[in-house]
Amino acid sequence: MSTGLIVLIVVLVVLAALVVALIFLGKRAQKKQDEQQAQLDAMKQSVTMLIIDKKRMKLNEAGLPQAVIEQTPKLLRRSKLPILKVRIGNRVMSLICDEKIFDKVPVKKEVKASVSGIYVTEVKGLRANKGPAVEEKKGFFKNLVAKAQEKAGAKMVK
């Protein structure tokens, strides 16, 4: 056999081993995530809160308890998390919000939320009065595409 064919076979075997390893690790990560989600659901409480502010900020800047900061991995401490500053009863506190619902959380509104520890998993509005509709901000590249389409005479699709 030629050396090119042997190299090709070795590369294919290595790629197949990588695919099998990724599948195995993906299943393990999925099981771990399911267990964590079950724990969150078990500890879930329904709370009425006034959302004062929402921001993406680093964990040590968010005003969370020191025990929470010490328990998080070092890599996660530098990443920005969605943080809600809320008033529950007469206490003002900072909570971590789920990434999926962070954009839907209304600011300066009273809401009913599902909270698991310091993690907000779900938010439902209490008051029926809706404020003025806020236009969604576009990113830099979306603005460029919109301007280019406008100059070309194409209609914008939302």
Its pTM stands at: 0.61
Q: Are residues 26 and 57 in the same domain?
A: no
Provide mean pLDDT across the span 5-24. 95
* b/e 41-76 (16+ beta carbons within 10 angstroms → b): eeeeeeeebebeebeeeebeebebeeeeeeeeeeee
Q: What is the CATH number of the domain that holds 104?
A: 2.40.50.660
Let me know whether 36 and 53 are in one domain: no
Residue 149 in domain: no
Cα gap 44→37, rounded to integer Å: 10
68-102 tens-digit pLDDT? 888 888 888 888 999 999 999 899 999 999 888 88
* Residue 132 counted as domain residue: no
Number of domains in the chain: 2
Q: Which residue has the higher pLDDT, 93 or 130?
A: 93
Q: What average pLDDT does the chain have? A: 86
Check whether residue 50 and residue 119 sit in a common domain.
Answer: yes
What digits encode the pLDDT tens for the residues 96-119? 998 888 888 888 989 999 998 888
pLDDT value, residue 132: 55
Is 18 inside a domain boundary? yes
Burial of 85 (0-12, 13-18, 19+ CB in 10 A): middle
Asked if residue 49 and residue 21 are part of one domain, the reply reads no
Q: What is the span of the domain harbouring residue 30? A: 9-42
Give me the pLDDT at residue 128, please: 46
The answer on 25 and 57 residing in a single domain is no
What one-letter code names the amino acid at 89?
G
Same domain, 64 and 112: yes
Q: Are residues 121 and 54 in the same domain?
A: yes
Q: Which residue has the higher pLDDT, 139 or 93?
A: 93
